[in-house]
Amino acid sequence: MSTTTVLIRSEEIQSRIRALAGEIEADYPPNDEIHLVGVLKGGFMFMADLVRAMSSRVTLDFMAVSSYGKGTRSSGEVRVLKDLDSGLEGRNVIIVEDIVDTGLTLHYMQDILKARFPRSLRTACLLSKPSRRQVDVKVDYIGFTIEDRFVVGYGLDYGEKYRNLPDIAILNE
């Protein structure tokens, strides 16, 4: 195992997520349901904390896609490994992603979910690395904007490790 250096502390993540949850709720009429679609596996922790900071009008579902292999570079290939359990027609849907890097994964997710006729479709990403973008993709809610560093922890992995770290950290060489 390599050593890691903390980039964003757990307390900072939690407080930013509470602010994001407030922002999201304020953007929808009070009686509207909000359906969150989490992208596995990286988005599981963000989803768990985000929904706990929101009111009971929230429902959720998960989708699993593969975009990266065991390394740190995007393969450009995105495959659906697990689809949603319920339909999206007429619902206010928010995609919940761990990180937007090249944007390829999100672009693909937005396309396939749009084709299911949600009433509205927005995206929330905990992290964004704008300098790496290859496709123009709209992200409505961003937790933190970071530089081009490979990060792990808080759901994010390197070769399936480090997902359980409570902080977001940089992997040392």
Stretch that binds ligand IMP, among 10-18, 28-36, 56-64, 149-157 (CB under 6 A): 149-157
The upper half-sphere exposure of residue 102, i.e. CA atoms within 13 Å in the direction of its Cβ, equals 13
CB of 60 to ligand IMP, least distance (A): 17
Q: Which of 27, 83, 85, 101 is catalytic?
A: 101
Q: Would residue 83 show up in a list of annotated catalytic residues for this protein?
A: no
Stretch that binds ligand IMP, among 4-12, 21-29, 50-58, 94-102 (CB under 6 A): 94-102
Return the residues of window 17-46 that contact ligand IMP according to CB under 6 A: 42
Say whether residue 74 binds ligand IMP (CB under 6 A).
Answer: yes
CB of 146 to ligand IMP, least distance (A): 8
Q: Backbone phi, then psi, for 111, in 5-degree steps?
A: -60, -45
Q: From edge to edge, which strands make up the β-sheet containing 120-128?
A: 74-82, 58-68, 34-40, 92-100, 120-128, 141-145
Stretch that binds ligand IMP, among 4-12, 28-36, 110-118, 147-155 (CB under 6 A): 147-155
- Measured CA to CA, the distance from residue 136 to residue 115 in angstroms comes to 19
Measured CA distances, 160 to 1, 47, 57, 99, 110 (Å): 12, 18, 33, 16, 25
Measured CA distances, 102 to 19, 121, 131, 141, 145 (Å): 26, 20, 9, 17, 14
Say whether residue 75 binds ligand IMP (CB under 6 A).
Answer: no
Say whether residue 99 binds ligand IMP (CB under 6 A).
Answer: yes
Distance of CA 163 to the CA centre of its chain: 14
Say whether residue 117 binds ligand IMP (CB under 6 A).
Answer: no
Give the catalytic positions in this structure. Answer: 101
Q: Which residues bind ligand IMP (CB under 6 A)?
A: 42, 67-68, 74, 97-106, 150-152, 156
